[in-house]
Every structure is written in C-alpha cells, then in structure tokens.
Structure 1
Amino acid sequence: MSEPIKIDIWSDIACPWCYIGKRKFEAGSGLFAGAGDGRGVEVEYHSFELSPDTPVDFEGSEVDFLAGHKGLPAGQVEQMLERVAGIASSVGLDYDFDNLKHTNTVKAHELLHFAKEQGKQLELAERLFRAYFVEGRHVGRIEDLADLAAEVGLDRAQALEALASSRFEPAVRADQATAAEYGINGVPFFVIDGRYGVSGAQDAQTFAQVLEQVWSERAAVTA
C-alpha cells in the first residue's frame, strides 16, 4: 500500500497557469500525504510547447506577444495578465510580467529531460518556472539554461553539451506525441495513476480528492 501514486504532468515553462497549477497540486498532494498510511506521489514532467513558433529572442513585451498571438487589444491583455498575477499571488508566486523575457521553450524542455536522467527534474522545473515568471531570466538560450542547471546541482558542462547536441529533442517530441494521443490540447494537464486526467490549475482540494479516490480504489483491489 505504500507505493506512491504516479503523476505525469504535461506543462510548458512559459505557461503561467502551469506554475500556479504546480503550487496547487503540491498543496493538494500535501493534504493527501498528510492523511498518513504511507500515502505519497511520484511526479514526472512531460513536454508541451504552447507556442513552438516563438523565436528564442522575441523582441517585445509579454503584452506585445499575447496581443499579436491572440489578436487581442493591448489593454485587454494587460487586464488578463493583472488577473493572472493576482491568482499567482494567492498561491505565493510574485509574477513579474513587465520583465518577463518571452522565448522559445524547446531547449528548456530538453534540459528537463537531461535533469530527469540525473534525478533532478523536479528541482529544475521549479528553478525554470521561477527564473521565467519571477526573476525575468532568459530560459531560451543554452548558456543561460546551463547556468540554471548548475544552480540546482547539475553539471554545467554536461548540460551545455546535451543542449548543444539536441540529444534530448527526441524525448521532447515523444512527450508531445503522447499528449496528442491523449487528446491534450492545453496545459497544465495531470495524468494520475495512468487512469485519470485532470485539466488546468484546479484547487488543492480537488487534487487531494482525486488522489484519495485512487488510493481507495487501490485498497479495494488489494483487500
């Protein structure tokens, strides 16, 4: 009964709801684990690119990007971002959209696969989200990404080699193919125990309830 529940999360570093969803899931899984009896989760991140056609060095602000990408007036985009920043704040995240550097995220996804191989994927995912949304760091260039990898204890030279060689791009594409097979067209998307899908940044209690349901079903099978 003590085997952790596997959680596969499709997300993009450039997705503001993914970082919010990460915090809400962490709160929900904490509630679940707090019930005892060996309850726990094992998390793995999977690649999803919201805007794969984005250049590495986008010239302009996040408002400029979204206004162009979604065809919305700048004023409406500013209101949207203000609302998202408010929700982020409610889960302890201090988003700084004014200094955010919009970029292509494929190399960030490659780095997450490298980090998974080294047993540091969860630490790197948190570092990349924070770098992008809170600190205004660049997460599209390989030199900057290698710096962030080193900050979570990964070997900088090895990270740089992995990125320069695109060694993990096939793994990124495989994740994206699986997302398409599952019908995932938006993130964050959580696949729980390979059986249940939860879409979006749901409340912590929702995640806790789904995890508890899976745990109860397991107990019924082994009883």
Structure 2
Amino acid sequence: MEDMFKNINNMSNKYGVKFSGVDLISNTHLALLASEYAKEKGKFHEFHDKLFYSYFTQGKNIGDVGLLKSIAESIGLNKDEMMKRLEDGSYESNLAEAKKSATHYEVNSTPTFIINDKYAIVGAQSIESFKNVLNK
C-alpha cells in the first residue's frame, strides 16, 4: 500500500493533489448510495469530489453517516431527505445494476474505465494512456 500511495502522489503532485496514505478501508456502500442521491439532484460531481478528498486526502471514514450528511449539507443537499432515501432502499437497484455491469466486464479493481464496450483502462493511469485508447 505504501508504494501504491507513493506512486499516486508522484503522479498527482503536478495537479496539487495530495493523498494521505489511507490506513482505513471504509465500507463504501452508504457512500455509493449517497452518490446516487447526489446524482439524482444534479450534484454528483460536487459530492464525489468532497467524498474523494475526505477519504484520500484527509483519511476519513466515508462509511460514516455523519460525514455523508455533512458532505451533502455542504453542497446544498437535503441531508434528511438523502438519509430517508438511503434507508428506504431507493438506490439499491442502481448499485445492483452497476455490480452486474462490473461482472460482465470482469472488473476486479478500481478505477476501471470501459471505453466503447471494447477497451479497459485499469488503475491510476496517465492522460497518455487514455489518449492512446481513445485514438484507437
């Protein structure tokens, strides 16, 4: 893990992004459900950015309900409505569909990008890697 974060930090330094070296593996189920709520409300990218920063830079537990509520509220989402939707299972089918798709494409690590249902880019890759695949 230490080598992985060293490599990621080497690549991300030029963008001003620092990774903390996470020593906590969070249960991300609720965070994924909350992301679906944010997507529905047109705030996915803001939510995802804060979630990513909280976990990878600050080393926080993104499975913590309090943190998810705080992030939602900070970007103008209704935290109580979000929790109600998470608790009533509104987004479970979205995650089941994503899991089905990941199984179909044999995804076994993240991030994995599937391009044109033909090419897979796995892991933290350079922009050049993406350009090469997109030019195919």
Cα distance in 2 for residues equivalent to 1:185 and 1:82? 22
Name the structure 2 match of 1:95: 19
Percent identical across equivalent pairs? 27
For the aligned residues, what is the CA RMSD? 2.3
Q: Provide the rounded CA distance (Å) in 2 between the counterparts of 1:84 and 1:170.
A: 33
The 5-angstrom pairing of residues 47-62 of structure 1 reads none
2-structure distance, mates of 1:166, 1:208 = 39
Q: TM-score, normalised by structure 2?
A: 0.82
* Larger RCO (CA within 8 A; separation ≥ 6): 1
The 5 Å alignment of 1:87-126 reads: 87-97=11-21, 101-126=24-49
- Name the one with the larger helix percent: 2
Instruction: Provide the residue aligned with 2:78 in structure 1.
Output: 155
User: Would the alpha carbon gap of residues 86 and 196 (structure 1) be closer, same or farther in structure 2, given more than 3 Å must change?
Assistant: closer
Structure 1 residue 139 corresponds to structure 2 residue 62 = yes
Quote how far apart the aligned CAs of 1:101 are. Answer: 4.4
Residue 91 of structure 1 deviates from its aligned partner by 4.0
Query: Normalising by structure 1, what TM-score?
Result: 0.53
Cα offset for 1:82?
Answer: 3.7
How many residue pairs match? The answer is 136
Measure how far apart 1:127 and its partner are.
1.4
Superposition deviation, residue 161 in structure 1? 1.4
Classify 1:97/1:200 alpha carbon distance in 2 versus 1 (closer, same or farther; 3 Å): closer
Which residue pairs with 1:204 in the alignment? 127
Structure 1 unaligned runs (5+)?
1-76, 214-223
1:86 correspondence with 2:10: yes
